[in-house]
């Protein structure tokens, strides 16, 4: 079992990583007899893990209510949050309740945002079941829902009381979902940690084959990197912005596609290639860096070009509304080498258009 703390100016919580964590009944340590809780999950995760979480809590004298939501990024929107509120109010949950987010990044975001809003803020636990959520989405306190005009535009910073990461659910995760999580892991290596990128080049097949020791190592390393950035820059005004690498163009892709068709990690993979190509045009990296990234993404079974149906012009409306924009200028997290990066703004539109024209589809 690995444990590490996330410490901010006014909050502290522990990330616990292990195999078989849910069966060890660790969620029980976060709740007390006579408390209330609501477990929020989706229709795919519910038949696999909901009972293993809910039944022991009920046996311990805790009021456990359940909510099963549809699956998919398209449902990360107000109607899902309203369903959480409805269940909490119907079952008379007070300010002392705890929400449990059991699922991937969508469930974590919806539950966390609902927890931030309900009665001006209640506790919640992250129980991520996808690789992407375990290495990124469940850690750091960002909660948000999508809008048709932009991804993650409505949200709040609201840290969980704890993050409990069980790697066993990864064994049943669809291969496409596993690869989507690898995109976020590759992001950490590209923009923050050259040794992690080197490790991935040597062990990507072990991760694709879901070897537990490899999964435990990489999840622990990614969580430690993110915890350090969150402690340093909780509100995303400084170094934490580097984690937006690949996401500026990825969010445009997802919004254009109506949050359907491409997984978040797939869009991030293509976004990283496009943004690294932009860094190459700016003289921040050489072609060898672009080629190493493309090769690793291809080995991870991830796309290296944007959606074929998306023209360069289709990106502009979403970039103009990007939530990272300052004074109407998008801030780009770009690599300056393997394992290092910088934030750049004021990119010439014609330069970006040339990159999109060359690399899209």
Assigned domain for 218 exists: no
Assigned domain for 310 exists: yes
Of the ranges 42-56, 84-98, 182-196, 320-334, which one carries the lowest mean pLDDT score?
A: 320-334
- 196 within 8 A of 221, measured Cβ to Cβ: yes
Q: What's the confidence (pLDDT) of residue 262?
A: 96
Assigned domain for 224 exists: no
Q: What's the confidence (pLDDT) of residue 328?
A: 64
**pLDDT tens track for 243-277:** 999 999 999 999 999 999 999 999 999 999 999 99
Assigned domain for 53 exists: yes
**247 shares a domain with 259:** yes
Query: If pLDDT is split at 50, 70 and 90, which confidence band does 357 have?
Result: confident
**185 shares a domain with 114:** no
**190 shares a domain with 144:** no
- What is the pTM for the complete model shown? 0.95
Query: Does pLDDT of 359 surpass 70?
Result: no
Q: What is the mean pLDDT of residues 281-297?
A: 98
Containing structural domain, residue 253? 175-195+204-209+235-359
**182 shares a domain with 131:** no
**pLDDT tens track for 102-127:** 999 999 999 999 999 999 999 999 99
Domain count, the chain: 2
Assigned domain for 105 exists: yes
* Separation CA 352–CA 361 (nearest Å): 15
**27 shares a domain with 103:** yes
Most confident range, picked from 7-21, 169-183, 315-329: 169-183
Neighbours of 78 (CB within 10 A): 13
**307 shares a domain with 347:** yes
Rounded to whole angstroms, what are the CA distances from 239 to 136, 193, 231, 232, 277? 16, 13, 11, 8, 21
Query: Does pLDDT of 1 surpass 60?
Result: yes
Kindly report the CATH number assigned to the domain that includes residue 310: 1.20.1090.10
Query: If pLDDT is split at 50, 70 and 90, which confidence band does 31 have?
Result: confident
Query: If pLDDT is split at 50, 70 and 90, which confidence band does 326 have?
Result: low
**183 shares a domain with 138:** no
**39 shares a domain with 15:** yes
Kindly report the CATH number assigned to the domain that includes residue 86: 3.40.50.1970
Assigned domain for 135 exists: yes
Q: Which is higher by pLDDT, 100 or 326?
A: 100
Q: What's the confidence (pLDDT) of residue 325?
A: 62
**183 shares a domain with 37:** no
Helices (H), 173-263: 175-191, 194-208, 212-232, 247-256
Assigned domain for 290 exists: yes
**147 shares a domain with 117:** yes
Neighbours of 87 (CB within 10 A): 17
Assigned domain for 219 exists: no
**127 shares a domain with 181:** no
**pLDDT tens track for 35-90:** 999 999 999 999 999 999 999 999 989 999 999 999 999 999 999 999 999 999 99
Of the ranges 20-24, 140-144, 160-164, 292-296, which one carries the lowest mean pLDDT score?
A: 20-24
| Pairing of the two strands 331-337 and 340-345 | antiparallel
**pLDDT tens track for 215-227:** 999 999 999 999 9
- Please give the helix or strand (H or E) that residue 126 lies within, else none: strand 123-128
**pLDDT tens track for 132-159:** 999 999 999 999 999 999 999 999 999 9
**132 shares a domain with 39:** yes
Nearest of 319, 345, 346, 342 to residue 151 by alpha carbon: 319
């Amino acid at each position: 079992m690995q444990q590490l703390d996330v410490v901010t100016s006014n909050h502290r919580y522990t990330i616990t990583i292990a195999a078989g964590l849910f069966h060890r009944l660790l969620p029980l340590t976060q709740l007390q007899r006579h408390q209330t809780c609501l477990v929020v999950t989706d229709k795919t995760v519910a038949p696999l893990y909901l009972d293993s979480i809910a039944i022991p809590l009920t046996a311990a004298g805790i009021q456990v209510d359940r909510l099963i939501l549809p699956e998919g990024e398209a449902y990360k929107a107000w109607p899902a949050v309203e369903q959480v509120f409805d269940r909490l109010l119907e079952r008379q949950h007070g300010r002392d309740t705890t929400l449990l987010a059991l699922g991937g990044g969508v469930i974590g975001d919806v539950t966390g945002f609902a927890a931030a809003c309900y009665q001006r803020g209640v506790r919640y636990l992250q129980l991520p079941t996808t690789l992407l959520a375990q290495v990124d989405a469940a850690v750091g306190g960002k909660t948000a829902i999508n809008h048709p005009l932009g991804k993650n535009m409505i949200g709040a910073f609201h840290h969980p009381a704890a993050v409990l990461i069980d790697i066993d659910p990864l064994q049943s995760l669809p291969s496409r979902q596993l690869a989507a999580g690898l995109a976020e892991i590759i992001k950490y290596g590209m923009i923050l940690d050259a040794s992690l990128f080197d490790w991935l080049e040597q062990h990507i097949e072990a991760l694709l084959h879901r070897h537990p020791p490899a999964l435990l190592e990489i999840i622990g390393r990614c969580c430690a990197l993110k915890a350090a950035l969150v402690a340093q820059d909780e509100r995303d005004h400084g170094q934490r912005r580097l984690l937006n690498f690949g996401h500026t163009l990825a969010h445009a892709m997802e919004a254009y596609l109506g949050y359907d068709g491409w997984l978040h990690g797939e869009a991030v993979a293509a976004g990283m290639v496009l943004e690294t190509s932009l860094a190459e045009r700016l003289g921040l990296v050489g072609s060898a860096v672009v080629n190493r990234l493309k090769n690793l993404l291809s080995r991870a079974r991830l796309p290296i070009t944007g959606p074929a149906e998306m023209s360069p012009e289709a990106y502009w409306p979403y970039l103009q509304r990007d939530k990272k924009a300052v004074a109407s200028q998008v801030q780009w997290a770009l690599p300056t080498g393997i394992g290092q990066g910088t934030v750049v703004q004021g990119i010439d539109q014609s330069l970006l258009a040339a990159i999109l024209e060359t690399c899209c589809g």
